[in-house]
Structure 1
Amino acid sequence: MQEYLLDTAQKRLNDAFRTRTKAGRIRQQNEAKIIKAAEIEFAQNGYKGTSLNAVADRAQLPKSNILYYFKSKFGLYGAVLADILEMWNQAFSVASIDSDPAETLYRYIEAKVAYSYTHPLASRIFAMEIIQGAPHLEAFLAQDLKVWLDDRASVIQSWIDAGKMKAVNPHHLIFLIWGSTQHYADFSTQVCWALGKKEYDQQDFQDATATVAMIVLGGLGLTIPTENR
């Protein structure tokens, strides 16, 4: 009888775990669909011009789901901005004092240019937010971004102190990488016009990565990793 009760209890625990896991996956899938739809709406219409009804229609989910997960349009917009920053910064977030600066900075540049190719709307949303004085970014992420920036700058400074690269202002080095890589998303119309084409192709982004990396790393006394030359 005791074994039966234990088996029954374990079965209930397993069933509950599977239910929670399934619910967790569904939530993640729904949140991802909502953020993707919101990214399109915010990029096309700006914060003021975007409605939760439009996001819900594009995501093909009830508006109540958006309110359940994100509470409000303001909360959804903050989640979109956070998603953008996490995507952009993850390639550099794991760097440490012991990391190779040439390899790390190359991978960061490569990832940022790639995101301009694969997620151009994300960059445009961020650019519009900054141009407008960052009214929403400040409320959600300004402090987190400052902490991240200072922490990454300290890693770069440690490389400088160890004689691994030329001395530069670490913060401005990061700003330079941001500007040069995000340009390909924020000013895509201008760049494509100047290149004489309607849209980018993969080769354009490979050339952009190689050029930006060569200039940045070369200016720091570093060389592009052998496998990427």
Structure 2
Amino acid sequence: MASSSPTKKPSRIQQRNRLIILDAALEVFSKHGFRGATLDQIATQAGLSKPNILYYFDGKEDIHVTLLNQLMDTWLAPLHKIDPTGDPLEEIMRYVSRKLEMSREFPRESRLFANEILQGAPRMAPHLESGLKPLVDEKAAVIQQWIDAGRLAPVDPRHLIFSIWATTQHYADFEAQIEVLMAGTPAHEGAGTYLDALFRRLLVP
């Protein structure tokens, strides 16, 4: 009986080219959204031909889904790290701080995700249901337990999480507007201090 041949591992050049394409696509998608982006734009950004792009990926949607799948792991990591056994206020403040850091470190990824959600999450809906919702349910229950024990001020746990997302990711998603309004001051300057004070005042019992 013939045995199936093992899957051939991609060469270093193939791995490098995939990374180049994904980085180029991230730049294009974060600027133009899925609908506004084209394979020609991605090829130009990557410095590769369009047929070369299609050698590695089946098309624009395949590239977009690959980026979103990679993003979800990174995006959810700080929420996973909220420790039910830790100090409630400090666990929440570490989460706020990390989300703000991510808006500074990964602005393109933040805009990629925001664009997908604004379009109704046509490619991410399964991940929202199977990955994000159970995690938010779990962490909301932890926050509610802290509130019930008198260790945090009464707030709606889910709206608290939404507020953290809104106030931190704003610095990435609306970076161009903030740069104008801050008149040359770095967009994130002072944001950490402000958000720390804001959420501490909200959450201290």
- Corresponding letter in the other structure for 2:204: G
Normalising to structure 2: TM-score of the pair?
0.79
Give the AA of the match of 1:111. Answer: R
What displacement does 1:58 show?
3.4
The answer to whether the Cα contact below 8 Å between 1:127 and 1:186 also exists between their aligned partners in 2 is: yes
Q: TM-score by structure 1 length?
A: 0.72
Q: Does 1:142 align with 2:128?
A: yes
Instruction: Say whether 1:66 aligns with 2:56.
Output: yes
Counterpart pick for 1:92 among 69, 79, 84? 79
8 Å CA contact 1:124–1:186 kept in 2: the answer is yes
Alignment-mate amino acid for residue 126 of structure 1:
F
Q: Retained in 1: the 8 A contact 2:24–2:45?
A: yes
What is the RMSD of the two structures over their aligned residues, measured on CA atoms?
A: 2.8
Q: Contact conserved, 2:103 with 2:169, CA < 8 A, in 1?
A: yes
Report the equivalent of 1:205.
Answer: 188
SS at match of 1:165: coil
- Point out the structure with the larger helix share: 1
Quick one: which of 47, 66, 70 aligns to 1:83?
Answer: 70
List alignment gaps of at least 5 residues for structure 1: 1-15, 223-229
% same residue:
33
Q: For this pair of structures, how many residues does the alignment match? A: 195
Provide, for residues 59-81 of structure 1, a one-character-per-residue CA deviation record: whole Å limited to 9, x for no partner.
456324532xxx44323212322
Question: Aligned partners of 1:148, 1:219: CA distance in 2, in Å?
Answer: 23
Long gaps (5+) in structure 2: 1-5
Structure of greater Rg: 1
Q: In structure 2, what residue type is equivalent to 1:112?
A: K
Q: Is the 8 A contact 2:136 2:158 kept in 1?
A: yes
